[in-house]
Chains A and B, each alone.
Chain A
Amino acid sequence: MKKQVQLTICGSAIAGGTINKMNTIYILWLRQLKRYLRSRSRIIGSLGQPILFLVAFGFGLGPTFQKAGQGNYIQFLVPGIVAMSVLFTAVFSGIEIIWDRQFGFLKETLVAPVPRSGIMIGRTLGGATVATIQGMIVFALSFFVGFRPSGWGNIGLAFIFMFLTAMLFTALGTAIASVLEDMQGFQLIMNFLIMPLFFLSGALFPLNNLPPVLKIITAIDPLSYGVDGMRGALEGISHFGLGTDFGVLSVMTLVILAIGSYLFSKIQL
Chain B
Amino acid sequence: MDNTIISVSRLTKKYNGFIAVNDVSFTVNKGEVVAFLGPNGAGKTTTIKMLTTLLVPTTGSVHLNGSDVVSHQEAARRTFGIVFQDPSLDDELTAWENLEFHGVLYSVPKDIRRSRIEELMKFVELWDRKNALVKTFSGGMKRRLEIARGLLHHPKIFFLDEPTIGLDPQTRIHMWDYVVNLNKKEQITIFFTTHYIEEAEKVAQRIIVIDHGKIVAQGTPGELKIKTNSKTLEEAFLHFTGHAIRDEEASAVDHMRQRHRRWHH
Contact = CB atoms under 8 A, between A and B. Distances in A.
Contacts of A72: none
Interface stretch (B17-25, B32-40, B97-105, B172-180): B97-105
B74 A114 contact: yes
Interface string A3-20: 000000000000010011
B77 A112 contact: yes
B55 A268 contact: yes
A98 B253 CA distance: 10
B97 A102 contact: no
Interface string A116-150: 00000000000000000000000000000000000
B49 interface: yes
A107 B105 contact: no
Q: Which of A24, A108, A109, A269 has the most B CB atoms < 10 Å from its CB?
A: A108
A47 B93 CA distance: 24
Interface residues of A, number: 35
B178 to A, nearest CB: 20
B219 interface: no
Contacts of A268: 54-56
Interface in A39-62: 39
Contacts, number: 95
Contact of B90 (A24, A31, A101, A110): A31
Interface in A254-269: 268-269
B49 A269 contact: yes
Interface residues of B, number: 38
Given A182-B255, A182-B256, A183-B256, A104 B88 contact: yes
Nearest to A108: B88
B35 to A, nearest CB: 21
Contact of A269 (B54, B77, B101): B54
Contacts of B91: 103
B54 A102 contact: no
Contacts of A269: 49, 54-55
Contacts of B241: none
B258 to A, nearest CB: 10
Contacts of B257: 102
A99 interface: yes
B105 A114 contact: yes
A27 B256 contact: no
B18 to A, nearest CB: 16
Given A24-B105, A182-B252, A268-B56, A107 B88 contact: yes
A69 interface: no
Interface of A: 16, 19-20, 23-24, 26-27, 31, 34-35, 38-39, 98-99, 101-115, 181-184, 268-269
Given A27-B105, A38-B133, A110-B54, 10 more contacts: A16-B107, A98-B256, A101-B253, A103-B87, A107-B54, A109-B105, A114-B105, A182-B253, A183-B256, A184-B259
7 contacts: A102-B256, A103-B88, A108-B89, A112-B102, A112-B106, A113-B105, A182-B259
